[in-house]
Every structure is written in C-alpha cells, then in structure tokens.
C-alpha cells in the first residue's frame, strides 16, 4: 500500500500555523521583559537575536561559515552613532543608513570572500573583519579609537510633527520587539520562497545546484548582502540601547558571539537565533552576577557551551524541532493504524 502521508501535510503549513507562529512570537516578545529582571537585558537579547538571525541566513541556510560578521555589526553601530552625533538621531534615518552601509559593505566583502570556498572563505571574512577593526582603532578623530564613540544623543522616532524619544530601555525594547517580530516573519517567508529554497539547495550541494541552473555565486552574494544588512541593523539597534559604540563591536569576539549563538540555538532553524540569544545573554547575565565568578564568566559560558553542544548536537531549538518531527511521524503512523 502507498504510504499515506499527503504531501500537503508536510510541505505546506496547515492554516492554523499561519496564526500560531505570529501569536506565539508576540506572546514571547510581550512576556520577555516581564519575566526577566530588567528590560535592558531583554533588549540585549533581541539585539543579539537579530544579529544572529542575519548570521544564520548565511551560516545555517547557505552553509557559509563567516568569522567576520562583527564587521557589519560594528559598521551598523558606528554608522548610527556617528549620524546621531553629527546629523540626526532620528531612527528613521539612522537605521536605514546603517542597513544600507551594511549591505554595501556586505557586497564588497562578499564579492571577494566568495571567490574562495570552505576554510579560505572563513579566513578571508576574518581578515576583512580585522581590517575594519584596525581602521576604527587607528582613526581616532572619527571613531574615538579604543575609547569608543561617546556622547551619542538619545535616539528618537520622528514622524511629521510627532516625536518619540527612546529614552528608557523599555522604549528601545518596544522598537526592538516590533522589528524582531517583522524580521522573523519576513525571514520565515523568505526561507520558503524560491530564493530561500535555492540557498538551502546550495548549502546541501553547491555543485548540484549549479548543475540544475542556479547561478550560485550571485545567490551566495545576495545571501551575504542580506545577512550583512541584518547584522548592521542589529548593530544600530545596539547603539540606541547603549548610547555608546565600543570598539569591541568590531572585534572578532563579537563575530564569535554570532557563531556561538547560532550554533547554541540551532543553525538552520528559524527560531534558533532567538533561543540561542536568550540562552547566551541570559547565562552571561546570571553568571556575571555571581560574586565568586564576576569577570571569569566567559570561562563558564564556554564550559556550558561545550555541554550544550554535546547534549543538543543540533542546537537547543534544532534538537527540539527534530524531536517534534519524530513525534508527529509517530502520531500520524499510530493514527493510520487506528483508522
């Protein structure tokens, strides 16, 4: 007998899910600052969730391991910070500017790095990242060097005669929550589009994707540009929150955060970056508050990371998703036997 699993069940999402996902995401975003001890922590989680969402498009869905995404995160921060200091602190200007800067930088860096594959690609992204770091380090007059960029005015949203200042962490959180909601829904859509499925085909087997007519270089470049633009947006949002740009936003350790969070949450899963950011930033906060640990927290985060990778080989959310799929198969198999 023919295996009776209608393809629509597995390929097309059931209508219910069209409502469940946005509703669950909304609930999460509303509850997050209430459950956590302070709003700045919730905001920090969303900044890193957005950074990793962009990173995950490249790493988790296209299969390209970049070690240089701090370049785009930092570039977004410096763009927003410098604009706020010299021109306008209106988010409607600084955020698109940061996204644009990230996209252009992504196109340039991607164009060169994507000439090489595998480890060489990764090392070239690292090199470009470090290049930007040292430029910011040396160019004191503009960037403030290792003192960072200080005296950034409070960001505000100005639409016509109405102005909303993003003074408190809660204000910034509201903006972040709205953008996170839009970004995750947009990415979900993107991933099931012809473009998104083509990227996943490249991740699975680039030669095969090319043999069936996909211009893999151009597709990878676009994935790189989108990923960089998203990372820059996260960088700009971080400035609204901190009102300061640290040189470390360009440091390779920041690139490492994106890698860690994505792997921790589950590379190649939509919600992995959100879950990973929650776990990573949350842990960091808990550990650094313990008096006996304080500045030794990275050691313990590293330790927990190793444990997590061993326990959840596909990341926290990735492993959960796999269990869920297996469960659904079992339920549908049982249902068929009963019926």
User: Is 7 or 295 the residue whose CB approaches other proteins more closely?
Assistant: 7
Q: Select from 148, 105, 110, 103 the least CA-distant residue to 249.
A: 148
For residue 11, state whether it binds other proteins (rule: CB under 8 A): yes
For residue 10, state whether it binds other proteins (rule: CB under 8 A): yes
User: Is 140 or 208 the residue whose CB approaches other proteins more closely?
Assistant: 208
What span, in angstroms and rounded, lies between the C-alpha atoms of 113 and 209? 20
For residue 246, state whether it binds other proteins (rule: CB under 8 A): no
For residue 197, state whether it binds other proteins (rule: CB under 8 A): yes
What span, in angstroms and rounded, lies between the C-alpha atoms of 144 and 250? 13
Q: What is the largest CA-CA distance in the chain?
A: 75
For residue 195, state whether it binds other proteins (rule: CB under 8 A): yes
For residue 336, state whether it binds other proteins (rule: CB under 8 A): no
User: Is 56 or 255 the residue whose CB approaches other proteins more closely?
Assistant: 56
For residue 215, state whether it binds other proteins (rule: CB under 8 A): yes
For residue 204, state whether it binds other proteins (rule: CB under 8 A): yes
Task: Tell me the two tokens of residue 14.
Answer: 């059931």
Q: Which stretch binds other proteins (CB under 8 A): 7-15, 28-36, 43-51, 53-61?
A: 7-15
Q: Which stretch binds other proteins (CB under 8 A): 104-112, 148-156, 208-216, 295-303?
A: 208-216
User: Is 198 or 279 the residue whose CB approaches other proteins more closely?
Assistant: 198
For residue 325, state whether it binds other proteins (rule: CB under 8 A): no
Within a 10 A sphere around the Cβ of 252, how many other Cβ atoms?
18
What span, in angstroms and rounded, lies between the C-alpha atoms of 244 and 151? 7
Residue 226 CB, shortest distance to other proteins, in Å, is: 9
Out of 88, 200, 248, 288, which residue is the one contacting other proteins (CB under 8 A)? 200
Out of 138, 168, 205, 324, which residue is the one contacting other proteins (CB under 8 A)? 205
Q: Please, which of residues 154-193 interact with other proteins by CB under 8 A?
A: 189-190, 192-193
What span, in angstroms and rounded, lies between the C-alpha atoms of 309 and 45? 20
User: Is 38 or 329 the residue whose CB approaches other proteins more closely?
Assistant: 329
DSSP designation for 162: E
Indicate the burial class of 241 (C-beta count within 10 angstroms; 0-12, 13-18, 19 or more): buried
Out of 5, 30, 108, 289, which residue is the one contacting other proteins (CB under 8 A)? 5
For residue 12, state whether it binds other proteins (rule: CB under 8 A): yes
Residue 23 CB, shortest distance to other proteins, in Å, is: 19
What span, in angstroms and rounded, lies between the C-alpha atoms of 251 and 205? 32
**DSSP code string of 36-105:** SS-HHHHHHHHHHHHHHHHHHIIIIIT----S-THHHHHHHHHHHHHHHHHT--BHHHHHHHHHHHHHHH
Task: Find tokens 């068929």 and name the residue.
Answer: 336
Mention every residue, 6+ apart, whose C-beta is less than 8 A from residue 321: 266, 269, 314
User: Is 60 or 246 the residue whose CB approaches other proteins more closely?
Assistant: 60
- Which three-class secondary structure state does DSSP give residue 159? strand
Size of the site for other proteins (CB under 8 A): 32
User: Rule CB under 8 A: which residues touch other proteins?
Assistant: 2-3, 5, 7, 10-13, 189-190, 192-198, 200-201, 204-205, 207-216, 219
């Amino acid at each position: 007998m023919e295996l009776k699993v209608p393809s629509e069940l597995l390929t097309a999402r059931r209508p219910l899910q069209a409502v469940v996902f946005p509703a669950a995401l909304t609930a999460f975003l509303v509850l997050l600052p209430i459950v956590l001890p302070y709003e700045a922590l919730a905001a920090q989680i969303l900044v890193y969730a957005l950074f990793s969402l962009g990173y995950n498009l490249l790493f988790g869905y296209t299969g390209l391991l970049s070690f240089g995404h701090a370049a785009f995160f930092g570039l977004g921060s410096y763009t927003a910070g410098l604009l706020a200091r010299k021109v306008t602190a209106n988010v409607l200007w600084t955020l698109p500017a940061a996204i644009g800067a990230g996209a252009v930088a992504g196109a340039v860096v991607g164009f060169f790095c994507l000439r090489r594959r595998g480890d060489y690609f990764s090392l070239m992204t690292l090199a470009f990242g470090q290049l930007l770091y040292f430029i910011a380090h040396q160019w004191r007059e503009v960037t403030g060097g290792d003192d960072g960029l200080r005296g950034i005015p409070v960001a505000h949203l100005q639409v016509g005669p109405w102005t909303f200042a993003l003074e408190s962490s809660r204000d910034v959180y509201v903006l972040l929550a709205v953008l996170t909601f839009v970004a995750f829904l947009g990415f979900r859509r993107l991933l099931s589009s012809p473009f998104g499925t083509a990227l996943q085909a490249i991740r699975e087997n680039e030669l095969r994707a090319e043999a069936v007519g996909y211009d893999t270089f151009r597709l990878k470049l676009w994935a790189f540009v989108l990923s960089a633009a998203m990372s820059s947006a996260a960088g700009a949002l971080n400035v609204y929150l901190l009102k300061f740009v640290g040189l470390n936003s360009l440091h390779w350790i920041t690139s490492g955060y994106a890698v860690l969070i994505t792997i921790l949450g589950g590379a190649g899963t939509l919600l992995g970056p959100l879950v990973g950011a929650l776990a990573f930033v949350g842990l960091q906060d808990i550990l650094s508050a313990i008096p006996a640990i304080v500045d030794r927290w990275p050691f313990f985060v590293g330790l927990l990371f190793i444990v997590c990778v061993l326990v959840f080989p596909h990341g926290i959310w990735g492993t959960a998703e796999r269990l869920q799929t297996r469960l659904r198969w079992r339920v549908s198999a049982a249902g068929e036997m009963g019926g």
